[in-house]
C-alpha cells in the first residue's frame, strides 16, 4: 500500500536517494552521466535538509510504501511565487513507475495548491524527458511557450508547463459548501421547527418547507449568511 504524507527533514536522506535514482533513470541520454553523478552525489540528505532551511515557502510530500520495499518511494516539492503555484520536483523510484504513485502525488499537489487559493500552477521539465512530459500532459498541463537553457547541466533545454487550478478550486469550494450547507440546514431547520417564522435568518421558508438557504464563507472558512 502507498500512503502520501507531508515530508520533513527526517526524510531527507531517502528523498535524496529517490532523486538520484530518478535522475539516472530519466535523464540517461539527456544529461551526461558524470554531471548526474556529481549533481546528485550521495550526501546523506544534506542538500535536501538545506533546501528546507533556505526555502521555507517550499512544501514537500512523500509517498511511503509498506511491506518489504518500505520507505520513501516518491516525493514532490512545491510552493508559490506570487499568485502562481509551482511544482519544483516530482520523482518516483523507477521500480515504482507506472503504479499510480506519481499520479497520487500530483493529485495531492494540485489539491493543496488549489485549496491554498492559487489559480494556476507551473513547472519546468526537460524538453527531451518524453515520459515526464506525457505524464504532465495527462495531468492537464500544457507548454506555455517559455523555455530555458540549463548551462550547468550540459546546455539542456527545459520547457515551462502550466495548468489552471480554477475548476479544481470550484470543485473544492463546492464540496465544502455542500457539506457545511447540509449541516447548517439541519441546524436551522431544528431551530425553525421550535420557533417557526416565515424567514429564519438565512433560511427562507415557504409553505412550511425550506425554500432556500444562503451560505457564504469568509477567508477563514467561517460560514455566514447574506
Ligand X SMILES: CC(C)(COP(=O)(O)OP(=O)(O)OC[C@H]1O[C@@H](n2cnc3c(N)ncnc32)[C@H](O)[C@@H]1OP(=O)(O)O)[C@@H](O)C(=O)NCCC(=O)NCCS
CA atoms of 185 and 189, how far apart (whole Å): 6
Smallest gap, in angstroms, from Cβ of residue 2 to ligand X?
10
DSSP structure string for 162-215: EEE-HHHHHHHHHHHHHHHHHHHHHHHHHHHHHS--SEETTEEEETTEEEEE--
CB of 135 to ligand X, least distance (A): 4
Residues 6 or more apart whose Cβ sits within 8 Å of residue 127 = 133, 147, 156, 157, 158, 159
- As measured in angstroms, the least distance from the Cβ of 17 to ligand X is 13
| Strand order through the sheet with 203-206 | 199-200, 203-206, 209-213
Q: Please, which residues have CB within 8 angstroms of residue 148's CB and are 6 or more apart in sequence?
A: 124, 157, 158, 160
Q: Is 103 in the site for ligand X (CB under 6 A)?
A: yes
Only segment of 46-54, 98-106, 190-198, 208-216 that touches ligand X (CB under 6 A): 98-106
**Contact pick of 30, 32, 52, 97 for ligand X (by CB under 6 A):** 97
Per-residue mark of binding to ligand X, 114-153 (x: CB under 6 A): -----------x---x-xx--x--xx--------------
Nearest to 224 by CA among 189, 174, 195, 181: 181
Comparing every residue's Cβ against ligand X, the nearest one is 102
Q: Which residue has the cell 544529461?
A: 31
Question: Applying CB under 6 A, which of residues 65, 90, 165, 205 lies at the interface with ligand X?
Answer: 90
Instruction: Kindly state the smallest distance separating residue 122's Cβ from ligand X, in Å.
Output: 12
Q: Is 60 in the site for ligand X (CB under 6 A)?
A: no
Closest separation in Å from C-beta 199 to ligand X:
46
- Tell whether residue 156 is a contact of ligand X (CB under 6 A): no
Q: Which of 8, 50, 98, 183 binds ligand X (CB under 6 A)?
A: 98
Contact 185, 215 (CB under 8 A): no
Three cell numbers at 180? 457545511
Residues near ligand X (CB under 6 A) are 22, 26, 90-92, 97-103, 125, 129, 131-132, 135, 138-139
Amino acid at each position: 500500500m502507498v500512503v502520501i504524507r507531508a515530508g520533513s527533514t527526517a526524510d531527507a536522506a531517502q528523498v535524496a536517494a529517490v532523486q538520484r535514482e530518478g535522475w539516472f533513470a530519466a535523464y540517461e541520454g539527456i544529461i551526461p552521466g558524470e554531471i548526474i553523478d556529481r549533481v546528485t552525489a550521495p550526501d546523506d540528505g544534506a542538500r535536501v535538509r538545506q533546501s528546507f532551511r533556505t526555502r521555507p515557502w517550499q512544501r514537500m510530500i512523500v509517498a511511503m510504501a509498506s511491506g518489504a520495499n518500505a520507505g520513501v518511494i516518491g516525493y514532490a516539492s512545491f510552493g508559490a511565487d506570487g499568485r502562481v503555484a509551482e511544482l519544483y520536483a516530482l520523482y518516483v523510484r523507477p521500480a515504482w513507475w507506472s503504479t499510480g504513485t506519481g499520479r497520487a502525488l500530483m493529485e495531492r499537489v494540485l489539491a493543496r495548491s488549489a485549496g491554498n487559493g492559487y489559480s494556476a500552477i507551473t513547472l519546468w521539465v526537460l524538453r527531451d524527458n518524453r515520459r515526464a512530459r506525457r505524464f504532465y500532459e495527462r495531468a492537464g498541463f500544457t507548454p506555455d511557450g517559455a523555455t530555458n537553457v540549463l548551462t550547468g547541466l550540459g546546455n539542456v533545454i527545459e520547457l515551462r508547463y502550466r495548468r489552471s487550478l480554477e475548476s479544481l478550486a470550484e470543485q473544492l469550494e463546492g464540496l465544502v459548501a455542500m457539506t457545511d450547507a447540509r449541516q447548517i440546514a439541519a441546524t436551522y431547520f431544528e431551530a425553525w421547527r421550535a420557533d417557526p417564522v416565515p424567514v429564519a435568518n438565512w433560511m427562507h421558508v415557504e409553505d412550511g418547507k425550506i425554500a432556500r438557504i444562503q451560505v457564504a464563507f469568509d477567508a477563514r472558512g467561517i460560514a455566514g449568511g447574506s
